Chain A
Amino acid sequence: MSDIRKKFDELRPAYPPGMDASLVLPLLHAAQEANGCVGEGDAAAIAACAGVPDIQVSEALTWYTMFRREPPGRHVVKVCRNISCSLRGAERVVEHLRKRLGVDVGGTSADGRFTLLTVECLASCGTAPAMQVGDTYHENLDEAGVDRVLDGLR
């Protein structure tokens, strides 16, 4: 709670008066960055700070695809599966990751290091196929490129 309040006080001045509710998404992002996911306590604290009903935060938390309620693996690997990436080999990238990490899409590897997800267009169409590991984009991928990225991670 106190962490959320601190973050609220830090972010709030950038927004005009009367816009406390606008802090819902920024605070959800902040909570997730701190803990890897958004817990129920954080969601309640966000509602209190932003002055909105609890249900509004719950709706946001469950409706936006980037927010998680369960902790993921240490590295979240998101592979674009949309049209331009599909035309350039996204399926091969996903298949390679599935084999190498030993998980299905949506799963977390047994050692807890990787969560594998597919996502929609990342605006990497000109550098397809692409994936995002954590925040970082990796583009123009093939199987060897995926290996290089994974080998470079702790």
Chain B
Amino acid sequence: MTTAERVFFTFDPTGESHGLDAYRRRGGYEALVKAVRALQPADVAREVTTSGLRGRGGANFPVGQKWSLVDRTRGTVYLCCNADEGEPGTFKDRWILEHSPHQLIEGMLLAAYALGVRNAFVYIRGEFDLPLRRLRGALEEARAAGLVGERVLGTPFTCDIVVHRGAGAYVCGEESSLINSLEGRKGYPRNKPPFPAIRGLYQMPTVVNNVETLSSIPWIVASGGAAYAAIGSKSNPGSRLFGISGHVKRPGIYEHPTGYPMKSIIFDDAGGVLEGKALKAVIPGGSSTPVLTAAEVENVTLDADSLRQAGSMLGSGGVIVVAEGTCMVRLLQVLTRFYAHESCGQCTPCREGTGWMDDILVRILAGKGRRADLESLRSIPEGILGKTVCALGDAAAMPVMSFVRKFGDEFEYFVEHGRSRYDGRLEA
């Protein structure tokens, strides 16, 4: 991709890139100046719609459409930035918060301007330390410079941003759960409809957008929605941050247009599989997305359509690479333990099902698996999928279904012999 098409890696992230001066030197806040001085709020919303930008948190919903659902006749509109990054394998929002927090602030201000928002919130996961300090520092700088608060840049536009810490709950990354948490409750997801755009924070219309989503907006306003729509694949355009982790030589964050080949990010960007081992499997978009075998990723690209055709999802763009010789049974139990721990307890299929799946895998790992366990690992996720208030149930079901279907012989071996075919290996 050309440098001009980059939305994030426009600077050397090792230096003092997070400060206001550095952000301004790379063109920061020029889009905000342009918007509040020369554009109507509807113009900003139209550029975002034209850009084809989709939600980068994992659900991939068109941002312009989400904004268009807001019922502005009902009074105060709120904006929440979802910085509760917790999908295993995903660490891109952290990169933005640490290296370019002003980019998020500018994106939030542009969204607030477009939506008529006076009060915006960043719901940031409670464990984050440096990202929190960087964001708070950037907000102080922005307030002092007249970019946030009363009369932004001397115009009638006024917008405050509150940083609100979560407290350790994966489900709070779900937008209605995030809203309940921001209201001081435990983070149970809400039934939808009504969607947050109709009834959200304190029952008022609320837009919840991910960190990377909002941070893409300054580029879109500066260069135009049409220019953004021309980057990457047609149906899901733009430039994104992909995180690659697991058994690769150079794990990290890489920026590419959507539609970039999966094999390129694994073998070129990330330097290939550790120890020169063969590729065994790839979880393409965070831990919830169905696993793909090495053969399945051969022609896949980092695009929502390509991954859907391959039977998986682009999700949050967190690519997890697994080398040949890894025990998929033990690896799956790492995930079932996680979902059982994080199920909020509201819906019976998820609360009970995640625990059952984990119990069964623990039993298999202890060498006490039964033939019937394999059947249960096929039927329990079917009983969760699509039967819960939020997507956590689906997120827990899909890894189990895909692991058992695609690596079924390993599960059968484990049950039959009481031990792993691969010596229980997780490291490459």
Contacts and interface: CB of A to CB of B under 8 A. Distances in A.
Interface in A88-128: 88-89, 91-92, 119-128
A25 B246 contact: no
Contacts, number: 156
B45 interface: no
B223 to A, nearest CB: 28
B164 interface: yes
Contact of B184 (A24, A66, A92): A24
B84 to A, nearest CB: 10
A67 B322 contact: no
Given A67-B167, A83-B283, A121-B87, A23 B426 contact: no
A119 B127 contact: yes
A30 to B, nearest CB: 10
Interface in A14-33: 14-16, 18-19, 21-26, 28-29
B251 A120 contact: no
A59 B331 contact: no
Nearest to B244: A126
Interface stretch (B102-110, B334-342, B357-365): B334-342
Interface string B323-341: 0001000010011011001
Q: How large is the interface on A (under 10, 10 to 19, 20 to 34, 35 or more residues)?
A: 35 or more
B427 A89 contact: yes
Contacts of A122: 127
A60 B85 contact: no
Contacts of B246: 83-84, 87-88, 125
A136 interface: yes
B209 interface: no
A44 interface: no
B338 A88 contact: no
B167 A21 contact: no
Contacts of A86: 331, 334, 426
A111 B335 CA distance: 34
Contacts of A83: 88-89, 246, 283, 287, 320, 331, 334-335, 338
Contacts of A50: 184
A92 B415 CA distance: 25
Contacts of A123: 85-86, 90-91, 93-94, 125, 127-128
Interface in B301-334: 318, 320, 322, 326, 331, 334
Contacts of A92: 427
A48 interface: no
Instruction: Return the 5 tightest CB-CB contacts between A and B, nearest first.
Output: A24-B184, A64-B167, A125-B245, A66-B168, A65-B168
16 contacts: A16-B76, A19-B202, A24-B184, A50-B184, A60-B167, A65-B168, A66-B167, A66-B168, A87-B245, A87-B246, A87-B426, A87-B428, A121-B86, A121-B338, A125-B90, A126-B245
Interface of A: 14-16, 18-19, 21-26, 28-29, 50, 52, 56, 59-60, 63-67, 78, 81-84, 86-89, 91-92, 119-128, 132, 135-137
Given A21-B185, A125-B318, 7 more contacts: A16-B119, A64-B126, A66-B168, A84-B89, A88-B427, A125-B243, A136-B129
